Each structure stands twice: as structure tokens, then as C-alpha cells.
A and B are shown apart, each in its own frame.
Chain A
């Protein structure tokens, strides 16, 4: 019935929405930043554990739509053991992919995150996918204040 949406709602997204990975409070986090999308009310708290400039653990709490939940869940998996610079580079690639800025992006470069490429056809939903990454960006820059997509 929802054939048209197969690119947007892939099975991986349903899976991460049902069973989000790394969905927990991290008591000994080195970085903790809140992200908020005032348009739809999505909220998340991102926790990072660092070893020098390397992310050794990531987790989150919060509530949001399937796209935003899957995006942050996938992100916490993929950024583990990445350096700050590597994570920032991934953010840029991901951002270009979801906003459709660069149509020639090699989807292999973003690995599993490629399942979120479908949002570029749904401008109203791009922020759902990017909220997690804007929050990560703030955490990497060590900003304390909450992030808003507005």
C-alpha cells in the first residue's frame, strides 16, 4: 500500500525505530548536548565518551519520529571509534546527501547511513534526519547550549 514510500521508509529504518541502538543515559559521558526540532517537537540528548580526539562511546535518549529515531540510532553506531575529524567529515557528507546538495555522493562513503538518502525527496522531513548530526556537531565543538534546527 505504501509502495511510493519504500525509498523513505526502508526496513532498516523501521528496525531502528522499533529497537533503537545505544538508547540509554550515559552517566560518565564527557559530552552531553540536547537537540530540539521545534517544528515537530522532536527532542534528543546525545552522550559522547571521548578518548583524546576519539569517540569511544555514543548513546542517546529522546523521542521523535521514525526518521529521526533511526537517524540518531544509526549515527551512534557509526561514529564509535571515529576521530572528531572523521565524524565531522561524515556529517558533511551526510548533510550533502540528505539535502540533495551533492547528487554524486558515493553512497558507500556513508555506509549504512545510505538508507536515509530517501529524505532528499521529502524536504519537510530532511530536518528529522539531520537533527542528530547537528547535535553531534555541537557536541564535537563542545557547545553547551541546546541545538535547535530552526
Chain B
């Protein structure tokens, strides 16, 4: 294997040259949001400088150009996750909106009182609350598959929850709080033998590994652009065409209609049926640029590099007395959640920030996970393809020093 070109990649991300509190930035909050390469930043400013107009149905040149770029980005997303058809790629605000969309359309049309929805104990709030709201509205029941202390799904217990009342399985692909990667192929195959559709929350997985929705055979796959080195405010809801065709629209408005009269309106076909109103045009185009950029590097190479980073960080962390790693799944992405004896994560966060190191401290929008481990919060260092071993050394030195200061 050729060496991963991390220095060249770093040079593509202008923010990585910033000084924070007079120290070089060490950005380890990638699970919350990733930084943006020049390719993305430039694509947006170029679009606004030269090509901007509203999309669809405009006959003037700029509108045609903007539409072409917007729809080209849709095809880039399709290719990136290997969907069969661009009709299956719906642009939304982010993974959260995508899950709410599925809950409010597929959910309301197919899930009734007494039906069951199965999630796991390691979900982000965005894959809990929309289902709770749906259950409150419909009288359906939310079932939670447990995990073990390593942060791994207890598969037999998950399997035992599936029955004739189960109408949907909604599972996180990779946990944002723990890094655990779920056995999603196995989950989908098991659910499909019982004719249960599966939604994967890919918000955390998508920047870390190749994703092939046809190979997985998932029914829905959702993710956010900002965690994929793209702009905030745009995300993707992939759904199998047949499911999307059968689902009612989400929001009503312009762009999602075929005809409108005061008596009755008819809806546009896919994908526009789910894209009411002017979308985040520049952001979609920026997401397309992020995907072009990632394709040049290759997701498999990124996954391999990040696995080495995580292994190194884990080894180093284990040498620090009083540090406890939260989440030690065998299959794990580049996230290191931890606690320190007698030092609150918020103090860790503030102290590391004074050294230029950005980590996250808190419940990571996964309060049930914190409750499971009996901690109010954790500190979380989350890695991206532009991080280096040297940055991990800076982190570990910072942790060691703050432990000394706290005494």
C-alpha cells in the first residue's frame, strides 16, 4: 500500500493552519462536524459568483446552469453510495430531517397502534425522538435492543425483538458516542427474512468507510453533508424507489407538485416529491464537491488510515492512569470516548482547548448511552482523515498534564 497522503490532505483544509489560543489547532471534534477542504469552499463561492439562480423550470441560462449543477450533485451522491437510481436520492437538511421524513411519511402510512419499531441502545437522539413522536401519535411501541458493556449490540436479543408486529428496524450504522460499528448487513438480512424494512442512520459512518446501499440492501440510508467534509444544512435520505413511490409526500409547496388547483393538487415524481420549496442549492453543490474530493482519495484508503490512528490513540490512552475508555467494541470507527477519574469532562474540554485541542465534552446527544455507563458525560476525541499521530501525541500529553494539574 502507498503511504496515505495526510500532509497533502491537510494542506487542502485552510482551517487546519489556524492558531487557537496561540497554539496550532488540533481538531478532534470530527464526529460533531468535519472541516471543509478548499474544493468545497471554492465550489460554493464559484457557484455564487458565476452560476447562481434558482433551480428547475427556469428558462434562462443561469437557472439551467444551476439546475445542471444541482442535479449533477445528486448523481455524485448516487454514485458515492452506489444507489441504483438518482430518483432514490432525496436532499434534506441533514440526517435528523431525513429520519423525521421517514417517520412522518413511511411511518404514518405503515405503522399503526400495536405495531413495533426496533432501535438499539446506542442511538443518537435523532434516531430515538422521531420514533417516540410517531409512537405517541399512532400508539405504536418502541423496542430497544440492548448492548453489552463493550458497546456492542447483543445480537440474539436484537433478533428476539423481531416479530410479526415489527414494522421497521432503525439502527445506527456507527455510534457517535462510542464508535461501535453495528453488523448492519447481518441486521438487514435477518430483518428481511421477516419482511421488515431497515433504516440505517449513517450520519457517523459515512465519512469513515465505503457504503454500498445495494450491497447492504438497506431500505433507507440517511446522512448529513457536514460530517462528510461538505457544507452544513444539507443531508441525504436514500430510499428504495418502490418504497419512496408508495410513500405520501413530506412537506407541501413549490417544486413537489405536478399540478395545483384550489380543488386538488397532484404531486411530482421522484425525487422532487420530497423536495418542497427552494432547497439548499449551493450546499448540495458543495456536497457534490466533497464527494469528488473523497473519491480521489478513496474511502477504503481513508478507512485503513483511520483504523491505524484509532489503534494508536487507543494504545496511548490505555497507558494513562485514571483514564477509562468508554466503548470498546471489536468493530469500531475512529472515536475515542473516555472519562478521567475525578475530573469532569467539561474541565477536560476547557483545559485541552487552552492547548489548542478541540474535543467534545458532554452527552453527545446520546443520554441513554451515558445512563448505561453511569456517567453524566464523557470526553470524546473523534478523528478524521486529516489527523495525525503527532496530534494524538499532543492530545495525550495534554491529558497527562491536566491530570497533574488537578492533582
Contacts from A to B (Cβ < 8 Å): 1-2, 4-5, 8-9, 14, 17-18, 39-43, 63-67, 122, 124-125, 128
Q: Tell me if A41 and B407 are in contact (CB < 8 A).
A: no
Q: Cβ of B351: which chain A residues have Cβ within 8 Å of it? A: 2, 5, 9
Given contacts A1-B405, A8-B350, A40-B345, 11 further A-B contacts (CB under 8 A): A1-B401, A2-B355, A2-B405, A5-B351, A9-B405, A41-B362, A41-B363, A42-B376, A63-B344, A66-B343, A124-B350
Q: Given A2-B351, A41-B363, A43-B376, are A65 and B407 also a contact pair (CB < 8 Å)?
A: no
Q: Cβ of A41: which chain B residues have Cβ within 8 Å of it? A: 362-363, 370, 376-377
> Which of the residues A40, A63, A122 comes within 8 Å of B362, measured between beta carbons?
A40
Q: What are 14 sample pairs from A and B whose C-beta atoms fall under 8 A apart?
A: A2-B355, A5-B350, A14-B405, A14-B406, A17-B406, A18-B407, A41-B370, A41-B377, A42-B344, A64-B344, A65-B346, A66-B344, A67-B347, A124-B350
What is the number of contacts between chain A and chain B, taking CB atoms within 8 Å? 58
Q: Cβ of B355: which chain A residues have Cβ within 8 Å of it? A: 1-2
> How far is it, in angstroms, between the C-alpha of A61 and the C-alpha of B71 when the chains are bound?
58
**Interface assignment of B185: CB less than 8 Å from any CB of chain A:** no
**Number of residues of chain B lying within 8 A (CB) of chain A:** 22
Q: Given A41-B363, A41-B370, A66-B347, are A2 and B376 also a contact pair (CB < 8 Å)?
A: no
Nearest chain B residue, comparing its CB with the CB of A3: B354
Q: Tell me how far the C-beta of A69 lies from the nearest C-beta in chain B, rounded to whole angstroms.
A: 8
Q: Cβ of B362: which chain A residues have Cβ within 8 Å of it? A: 39-41
**Interface assignment of B270: CB less than 8 Å from any CB of chain A:** no
> How far is it, in angstroms, between the C-alpha of A17 and the C-alpha of B351 when the chains are bound?
15
Q: Cβ of A128: which chain B residues have Cβ within 8 Å of it? A: 346
> How far is it, in angstroms, between the C-alpha of A131 and the C-alpha of B354 when the chains are bound?
23
Q: Cβ of B370: which chain A residues have Cβ within 8 Å of it? A: 41
Q: Tell me how far the C-beta of A10 lies from the nearest C-beta in chain B, rounded to whole angstroms.
A: 12
Task: With a 10 A CB-CB cut-off, give which of B343, B345, B350 has the most chain A CB atoms.
Answer: B350
- Scan residues 341-387 of chain B and give those whose CB is less than 8 A from a CB of chain A: 343-347, 350-351, 354-355, 361-363, 370, 376-377
Q: Tell me how far the C-beta of B98 lies from the nearest C-beta in chain A, rounded to whole angstroms.
A: 26
Q: Given A2-B354, A4-B354, are A65 and B401 also a contact pair (CB < 8 Å)?
A: no
Nearest chain A residue, comparing its CB with the CB of B352: A2
Q: Tell me how far the C-beta of B357 lies from the nearest C-beta in chain A, rounded to whole angstroms.
A: 12
Q: Tell me how far the C-beta of B324 lies from the nearest C-beta in chain A, rounded to whole angstroms.
A: 16
Could you give, for residues 272-308 of chain B, a 1 whenever the CB lies within 8 Å of some chain A CB and a 0 otherwise? 0000000000000000000000000000000000000
Contacts from B to A (Cβ < 8 Å): 21, 343-347, 350-351, 354-355, 361-363, 370, 376-377, 398, 401-402, 405-407
Q: Tell me how far the C-beta of A26 lies from the nearest C-beta in chain B, rounded to whole angstroms.
A: 23
> How far is it, in angstroms, between the C-alpha of A17 and the C-alpha of B401 when the chains are bound?
17
Q: Cβ of A63: which chain B residues have Cβ within 8 Å of it? A: 344, 376
> How far is it, in angstroms, between the C-alpha of A63 and the C-alpha of B370 when the chains are bound?
15
Q: Tell me if B377 and A2 are in contact (CB < 8 A).
A: no
Q: Tell me if B354 and A125 are in contact (CB < 8 A).
A: no
Q: Cβ of A125: which chain B residues have Cβ within 8 Å of it? A: 346, 350
Q: Tell me how far the C-beta of A25 lies from the nearest C-beta in chain B, rounded to whole angstroms.
A: 20
> How far is it, in angstroms, between the C-alpha of A108 and the C-alpha of B356 when the chains are bound?
33
Q: Tell me how far the C-beta of B122 lies from the nearest C-beta in chain A, rounded to whole angstroms.
A: 18
Nearest chain A residue, comparing its CB with the CB of B400: A1
Q: Cβ of B405: which chain A residues have Cβ within 8 Å of it? A: 1-2, 9, 14
Q: Tell me how far the C-beta of B320 lies from the nearest C-beta in chain A, rounded to whole angstroms.
A: 15
Nearest chain A residue, comparing its CB with the CB of B348: A65
Nearest chain A residue, comparing its CB with the CB of B23: A4
Q: Cβ of A65: which chain B residues have Cβ within 8 Å of it? A: 344-347
